[in-house]
């Protein structure tokens, strides 16, 4: 059964409504087009957007907005354009809003400047490259700046200052060292930074005292440059100041001071280095550097802290074990051999959710190298014969072969086996060596004997 239909009358009414709506839209469009005859923008909404664009950050956008409002020939735009002509900070925008540029009120922040003379050096150019070129030209050609170049360093851009410093060091050399030292008394940190850099480049020993004062500066860049310069000019005064500097240092500065202590062989800093290596609250890179320094300075009192780091089998301290192994070799700690063998061959590292595992390749390689230094070929033999090498990476195997070569003086290399053993370590016979090397070698035995292929 068909659904009931509506009477004919209401259907006619609903068909008339869309027609009336389209008629109203057409009349409104005609009105807007008639209004657009006198204005360059099509409607009032466009004008509102243009007024908002007067505050845009982009100066080009503001200039185009002013052009559109001025071309509209709308009396209502005179007040906004007059305001732009008075208050905008860019001269090009102000000139576009009012070519005559009416006088500005006294409270404006804009300070007009005279156009620079094209023949003069453009030290105040907006482009840092132009300022750099102008200052370098003045340094090379102007006699006044050749005598005293320090005025050329006063620039807000770091790269401009560094370019002038490099050129001054190249042209003047050590003869300008007194002028560089005078900059340390300046309250301008940027100038002190350049003085610290130049003192290191010139290796000016007389600048050691002001460089030590720079270690307490709040500027990290100045502190790091002072440390770099002290590595070149440091003496007993620097070695004596290192313990106090290490106590108050942190982060990147602590690491650079540790490197400085190694380069200067500062025995006075050994207690601080031991404390850093054993402090579990400090970052691991700083502790690893301290272990390297203890080994480089051959600190016999560091035995306990070095072994403690070596025997820390936590899964996230592989970096400390690697550097502790190197320190054990440098200090000659033979009692570390069992731990070194365990780290090289066994699976002492318990990784959460995974279980026992080998240590990192870097740590195992460091342990093999330490065993070669501490016990020679006899200490490496258990590693060579151990089944762990069949599961090890090529880097670890190469480290074992290199350790055998350094311990015996005979070249060793890995060879593929035709049996179930994937590879074995073989000492190269004279016939396998280059002729010039084979003439000076005796027939070496295969090592170990159990590793010979069947």
Which of 438, 437, 369 lies closest to 407 in space, CA to CA?
369
Please give the pLDDT value at position 5.
52
Please give the pLDDT value at position 78.
85
Structure tokens belonging to residue 58: 């982009």
pLDDT, greater one: 367 or 446: 367
Please give the pLDDT value at position 35.
46
Please give the pLDDT value at position 442.
43
Sign of CA dihedral 93, 95, 96, 100: positive
CB burial string 174-196: b at 16+ within 10 A, e below = eebbebbbebbeeeeebbbbbbb
**Mean pLDDT for the chain overall:** 79
- Judged against a pLDDT cut of 90, whether residue 201 lies above it is answered with yes
Q: Report strand pairing: 355-357 vs 349-351.
A: antiparallel
Beta bridge partners of 357: 349
Kindly state the average pLDDT of the residues 256-267: 92
Sign of CA dihedral 416, 421, 425, 426: negative
Helix (H) / strand (E) element for 278: namely: helix 270-278
Of 116-130, 254-268, 349-363, 424-438, the range with the highest mean pLDDT is 254-268
Q: What are phi and psi of 416, to 5 degrees?
A: -75, 145
CA distance 150 to 165: 9
Whether the model pTM is above 0.75: no
CA distance 220 to 196: 12
Burial of 431 (0-12, 13-18, 19+ CB in 10 A): exposed
- Residue spans of the domains in the chain: they are 18-97
- Judged against a pLDDT cut of 60, whether residue 20 lies above it is answered with yes
Q: For residue 157, what is the DSSP state?
A: -
Please give the pLDDT value at position 51.
83
Cα angle 25, 30, 36 (rounded to 5 degrees) comes to: 125
pLDDT band at 145 (very low <50, low <70, confident <90, very high): confident
Which of 373, 375, 381, 296 lies closest to 345 in space, CA to CA?
381
Please give the pLDDT value at position 44.
76
How many helices and strands, by DSSP H and E, does the chain display? 22, 4
Please give the pLDDT value at position 3.
53
CA distance 276 to 289: 9
pLDDT band at 2 (very low <50, low <70, confident <90, very high): low
CA distances to 115, 263, 376 from 399, rounded to whole Å, are: 69, 28, 14
pLDDT band at 424 (very low <50, low <70, confident <90, very high): low
Rounded to 10 deg, the angle between the 303-310 and 318-331 helix axes is: 140
Please give the pLDDT value at position 245.
92
Contact of 215 with 241, CB cutoff 8 Å:
yes
pLDDT, greater one: 135 or 354: 135
Which of 272, 208, 215, 262 lies closest to 234 in space, CA to CA?
208
Q: Which of 126-135, 245-254, 330-339, 364-373 comes out lowest in average pLDDT? A: 126-135
pLDDT band at 383 (very low <50, low <70, confident <90, very high): confident
pLDDT band at 40 (very low <50, low <70, confident <90, very high): low
- Judged against a pLDDT cut of 80, whether residue 11 lies above it is answered with no
At 57-76, the pLDDT tens digits run 777 778 888 888 888 878 88
Beta bridge partners of 416: 423
Place of tokens 């050590």: 174
At 62-120, the pLDDT tens digits run 888 888 888 887 888 888 888 888 888 788 888 888 766 544 444 444 444 444 444 44
């Amino acid at each position: 059964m068909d659904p009931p239909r509506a009477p004919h009358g209401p259907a006619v009414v609903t068909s008339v409504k869309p027609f009336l709506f389209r008629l109203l839209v057409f009349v409104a469009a005609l009105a807007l087009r008639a209004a657009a005859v006198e204005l360059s923008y099509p409607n009032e909404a466009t004008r509102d957007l243009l007024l908002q664009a007067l505050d845009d950050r982009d100066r080009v956008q503001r200039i185009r907005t002013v052009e559109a409002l001025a071309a509209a020939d709308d009396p209502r735009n005179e007040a906004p354009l007059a305001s732009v002509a008075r208050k905008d900070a860019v001269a090009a925008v102000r000139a576009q809003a009012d070519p005559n540029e009416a006088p500005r009120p006294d409270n404006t922040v804009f300070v007009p400047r005279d156009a620079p003379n094209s023949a003069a050096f453009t030290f105040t150019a907006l482009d840092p490259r132009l300022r750099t070129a102008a200052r370098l030209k003045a340094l090379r050609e102007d006699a006044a700046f050749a005598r005293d170049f320090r005025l050329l360093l006063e620039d807000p851009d770091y790269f401009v200052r560094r370019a002038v410093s490099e050129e001054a060091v190249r042209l003047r050399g050590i003869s300008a060292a007194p002028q560089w030292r005078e900059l340390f008394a300046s309250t301008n940190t940027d100038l002190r930074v350049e003085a610290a850099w130049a003192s290191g480049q010139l290796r000016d020993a007389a600048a050691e005292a002001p460089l030590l004062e720079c270690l307490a500066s709040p500027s990290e860049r100045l502190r790091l440059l002072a440390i770099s310069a002290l590595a070149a000019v440091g003496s007993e005064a620097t070695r004596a100041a290192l313990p106090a500097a290490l106590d108050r240092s942190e982060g990147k500065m602590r690491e650079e001071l540790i490197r400085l202590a190694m380069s200067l062989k500062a025995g006075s800093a050994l207690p601080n280095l031991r404390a850093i290596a054993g402090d579990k609250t400090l970052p691991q890179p700083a502790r690893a550097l301290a272990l390297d320094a203890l080994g480089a300075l051959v600190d016999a009192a560091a035995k306990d802290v070095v072994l403690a780091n070596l025997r820390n089998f936590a899964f996230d301290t592989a970096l400390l074990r690697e550097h502790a192994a190197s320190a054990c070799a440098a200090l000659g700690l033979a009692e570390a051999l069992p731990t070194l063998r365990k780290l090289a061959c066994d699976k002492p590292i318990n990784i959460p959710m995974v279980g026992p595992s080998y240590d990192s390749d870097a740590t195992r390689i460091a342990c093999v190298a330490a065993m070669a230094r501490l016990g020679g070929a006899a200490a490496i033999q258990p590693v060579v014969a151990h089944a762990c090498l069949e599961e090890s990476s090529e880097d670890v195997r190469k480290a074992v072969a290199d350790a055998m070569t350094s311990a015996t003086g005979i070249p060793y290399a890995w060879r593929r086996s035709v049996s179930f053993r994937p590879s074995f370590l073989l000492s190269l016979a004279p016939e396998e060596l280059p002729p010039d090397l084979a003439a000076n070698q005796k027939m070496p035995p295969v090592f170990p004997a159990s590793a010979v292929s069947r």
